Amino acid sequence: MIVAVNKDEITADVAARLVAAQFPQWAGLPVTPVMLDGWDNTTFRLGHELSVRLPSADSCIPQVGKEHRWLPVLARHLPLPIPEPVAMGCPGDGFPRPWSVYRWIAGEPGRRPGPIRLRPRGLPGRAAGRRRRRRAAGRGGQLLPGRPARHLGRADPAADPPGSR
């Protein structure tokens, strides 16, 4: 009988049983938890070249199929390696969700050395919004929370023409 499983109940033993039952070619490989684990999946190292990802909640089940479908497609277009699906496991052996085996990507977890610019220079963003607010405050204008920038400098947005909000 398969019952609900919480994230803290997804252990290396659970992963090892699933692998042994469904993929006997990897049954002898050690299964160890990874140091940095995600929220949607509980991830384990499977030997030196593979990993096992078990969805941590029922709401994460659709990701399994999407990853198997789209990661190989995306990998051809990206400059960095991304997880490569190797096998998809089925619910069983006390675990109620489909799960995956991936190739292990060697290296250290990514770290951001500093801010990453996601927009080309000159496009409006949070900094531009802060500048507008500072300028409005300097002119004595009142910036109302949740109001678009076109209301800067006007103390009474109710005076706007109908339909302009």
Instruction: Identify whether 43 is part of a domain.
Output: yes
Number of domains in the chain: 2
Count of CB atoms situated within 10 Å of the CB of 121: 5
Q: Is 87 exposed, middle or buried (0-12, 13-18, 19+ CB in 10 A)?
A: middle
Inter-CA distances, 140 with 134, 148, 150, Å:
10, 17, 15
**How much is the pLDDT for 152?**
47
Residues 23 and 95 in one domain: yes
Percent residues over pLDDT 90 in the chain: 52
Instruction: Identify whether 121 is part of a domain.
Output: no
Residues 56 and 94 in one domain: yes
**How much is the pLDDT for 64?**
96
Q: What is the pLDDT of residues 59-118, one digit of tens each?
A: 999 999 999 999 999 999 998 899 999 999 999 988 999 999 999 998 877 665 666 555
Domain that holds residue 93: 7-103
* Furthest CA-CA distance within the chain: 74
40 confidence band (pLDDT: 50, 70, 90): very high
> Which residues, 6+ apart, have CB-to-CB distance to 56 below 8 Å?
7, 10, 38, 39, 40, 41, 42
How far is Cα 106 from Cα 96, in angstroms, rounded to an integer?
29
The CATH number for 35's domain is 3.30.200.20
Q: Where are the alpha helices (DSSP H) in the chain?
A: 12-22, 61-75, 126-138
